[in-house]
């Protein structure tokens, strides 16, 4: 008579992909507000504010560019043009994508622990916390991409208009990361060791991905192995789109997207199943 709905209690958590989408849609304004808070909150009280997310990847870029470009002369390796500034830009994209991945990966195991209030004090759609974490990381990537574009304009010129396709390469990666984040954050509640593992893992994956070198510079066997790294395919696609050097491997990306969709569904199922126990342990 009052249009009341029956309150969602624990036993009624949806584990289906449909429930995943419904949760995302019904909480979209909350997700938006939390991402905003997350992004602004990181630089609250600092004078430079959001500029930091601009400087941070830049600084990292200079360090890596010095080591790999200046010391190891990586830009002379096969697959790169002899142009040094293009090497910088290729490296920059690699770092941006990798930072997105590693940031989410490293934060995932502690997401529930950090947001204990949401777990214990209010009936909160906990699954959206992973969306928020990925969303905030995406924001930083976009800022970095602006910096990249600026460099590109100055050093090389107007980018090819195929650049506008870059969300196609990024979207499956984001889905993949959300799925991984769900699995890790639910495990992290019960096994605090996970957070140490992800630190090691992300360092390892950094060098086992084509961040510093082009995939084609590896022996064929290693190229195949590296395809299992979740960022390899999106990163390679991203580069081929942004530099318009060669056509992206669309079938491969499609394959990867299918894996991402599977991963995010699995992650949601996993998270919602373990979720009942969170409040008992935290």
Partner 1 sequence: MSSDIAIKVEQLGKCYRVYRKAYQRLLQLAFNGRKKFYRESWAIRHASFELKKGETLGVIGKNGSGKSTLLQMIAGTLAQTEGDISAHGRVTALLELGSGFNPEFSGRDNVYINALIYGVGKKEIAEKFSEIEQFADIGEYIDQPVKFYSSGMIMRLAFSVSVFLTPDILVIDEALAVGDAAFQFKCLNRLLTLSEQGCSILFVSHDMNLIKNFCDRALYIRKGHAPQLGATDEMVERYLLEMRETQQSASSGAQATGRKKETLPGGRMVYGNHEGRIVSARFVDQGEGLAVYAHGAPITLRLAAAFLPQVRQPSLSITIQDRKLIVLGGYNFPLQAEPAQPDMFSASIDVRFAAKLAGGRYYISLKLFDGLDESIARLIEKQVACLEFEIYNANKKFLGMIDFGMEEISEADVSQHLCIKAMGSGE
Residue whose CB is less far from partner 1, 69 or 188: 188
Buried b (16+ CB within 10 A) or exposed e, 255-282: ebbebbeebbbebbbbbbebbeebeeee
Residue whose CB is less far from partner 1, 40 or 156: 40
Residue whose CB is less far from partner 1, 43 or 262: 43
Q: Rounded CA gap, 105 and 169, in Å? A: 19
Residue whose CB is less far from partner 1, 10 or 158: 10
Instruction: Work out how close the CB of 269 gets to partner 1 at its nearest, in angstroms, rounded to a whole number.
Output: 17
Q: Which residues bind partner 1 (CB under 8 A)?
A: 1-2, 4-11, 29-30, 33-34, 37, 40-41, 44-45, 117-124, 190-191, 276-277, 279-281
Tell me the CA distances in angstroms from 243 to 68, 86, 87, 248, 252, one per residue in order: 20, 9, 11, 11, 18
Instruction: Work out how close the CB of 75 gets to partner 1 at its nearest, in angstroms, rounded to a whole number.
Output: 42
Both tokens of residue 79?
Answer: 């697959």
Name the DSSP letter for residue 16.
S
Any alpha helices (H) in 27-83, and if so which ranges? 28-42, 51-64
Buried b (16+ CB within 10 A) or exposed e, 148-182: beebbeeeeeebeeebebbebbbebbbbbbbbbbb
Q: Rounded CA gap, 212 and 75, in Å? A: 9
Instruction: Work out how close the CB of 31 gets to partner 1 at its nearest, in angstroms, rounded to a whole number.
Output: 9
Instruction: Work out how close the CB of 14 gets to partner 1 at its nearest, in angstroms, rounded to a whole number.
Output: 14
Question: Would you tell me how many other CB atoms lie within 10 Å of the CB of residue 55?
Answer: 12
Residue whose CB is less far from partner 1, 11 or 247: 11
Instruction: Work out how close the CB of 9 gets to partner 1 at its nearest, in angstroms, rounded to a whole number.
Output: 6
Both tokens of residue 56?
Answer: 């941070």
Instruction: Work out how close the CB of 151 gets to partner 1 at its nearest, in angstroms, rounded to a whole number.
Output: 33
Residue whose CB is less far from partner 1, 33 or 150: 33
Residue whose CB is less far from partner 1, 132 or 235: 132
Name the DSSP letter for residue 282.
-
Residue at token pair 């584990």: 15
Instruction: Work out how close the CB of 193 gets to partner 1 at its nearest, in angstroms, rounded to a whole number.
Output: 10
Question: Would you tell me how many other CB atoms lie within 10 Å of the CB of residue 252?
Answer: 14
């Amino acid at each position: 008579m009052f249009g009341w709905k029956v309150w969602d209690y624990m036993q009624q958590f949806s584990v289906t992909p449909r429930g995943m989408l419904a949760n995302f849609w019904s909480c979209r304004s909350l997700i938006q507000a939390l991402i905003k808070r997350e992004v602004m909150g990181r630089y609250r009280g600092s004078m430079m504010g959001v500029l930091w997310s601009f400087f941070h990847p830049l600084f990292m870029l200079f360090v890596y560019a010095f080591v790999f470009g200046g010391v190891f002369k990586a830009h002379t390796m096969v697959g790169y043009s002899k142009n040094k500034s293009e090497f910088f830009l290729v490296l920059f994209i690699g770092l941006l994508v990798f930072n997105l991945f590693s940031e989410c990966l490293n934060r995932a195991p502690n997401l529930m622990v950090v947001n204990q209030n949401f777990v214990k004090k209010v009936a909160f759609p906990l699954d959206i916390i992973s969306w928020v974490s990925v969303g905030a990381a995406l924001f930083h990537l976009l800022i970095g991409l602006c910096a990249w574009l600026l460099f590109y304009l100055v050093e090389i010129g107007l980018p090819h208009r195929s650049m506008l396709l870059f969300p196609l390469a990024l979207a499956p990666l984001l889905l993949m990361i959300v799925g991984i984040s769900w699995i890790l954050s639910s495990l992290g509640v019960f096994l605090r060791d996970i957070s140490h593992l992800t630190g090691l893992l992300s360092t390892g994956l950094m060098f086992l991905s084509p961040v510093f070198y082009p995939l084609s510079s590896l022996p064929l066997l290693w190229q195949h192995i590296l395809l299992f790294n979740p960022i390899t395919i999106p990163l390679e696609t991203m580069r081929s789109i942004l530099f318009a050097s060669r056509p992206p491997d669309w079938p491969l990306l499609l394959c990867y997207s299918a894996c991402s969709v599977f991963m995010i569904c699995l992650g949601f199922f996993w998270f919602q199943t373990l979720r009942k126990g969170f409040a008992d342990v935290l």
